[in-house]
Structure 1
């Protein structure tokens, strides 16, 4: 179980780093910046799909939705921007 959690953490951290590189790239589209801003607003917002007051489930929704949203944005990058991000961030670890 710990091995899987470690792998998931590495993937999420790598995707977050790739998103950061993509946002800083001069060719970053506006929709990418808007999507990243929405992710940040969701994380900071007191309104959640599942309230954080619920013991475990309230936090798990953030731990699942945020990495999925980041991956969704990265999968929709224009090919030239995706290639530039991959060169900058290094080879991508994929669990799929």
Structure 2
């Protein structure tokens, strides 16, 4: 059960980091665009796997949203990503 709690905490911090990317004027437009696309995919009723399939539909939204956020973070310069991670309080090195 504690693994699920850690996963939720990690995902919450990634969402806070995505919000920081959207608000920071130094962030490139590509990073902001992919962040918005991730949010739109998660709330969109059109999915690869419909949300009417209980577990797979939600897993589809979460995984694609997470991977889109990771793509958005790759568009950020290394020092900006580290600065935003420090501000939000997440750990992680730039890849």
TM-score in terms of structure 2 length: 0.82
Unaligned runs of 5+ in 1: none
Q: Offset at 1:50?
A: 0.3
Give me the whole-angstrom Cα distance separating, in 2, the residues matched to 1:18 and 1:92.
11
Q: How many residues align?
A: 93
Mapped to 1, the partners of 2:85 and 2:35 lie a distance apart of 18
- Aligned CA RMSD, in angstroms, stands at 1.9
Other-structure match for 1:80: 79
Structure number with the bigger relative contact order (C-alpha 8 A, sep ≥ 6) is 1
| Gapped regions of structure 2 (runs ≥ 5) | none
Which stretch of structure 1 is more off in the superposition, 11-20 or 85-94? 85-94
**TM-score, normalization: structure 1?**
0.81
Distance 1:39 1:91 in 2: 19
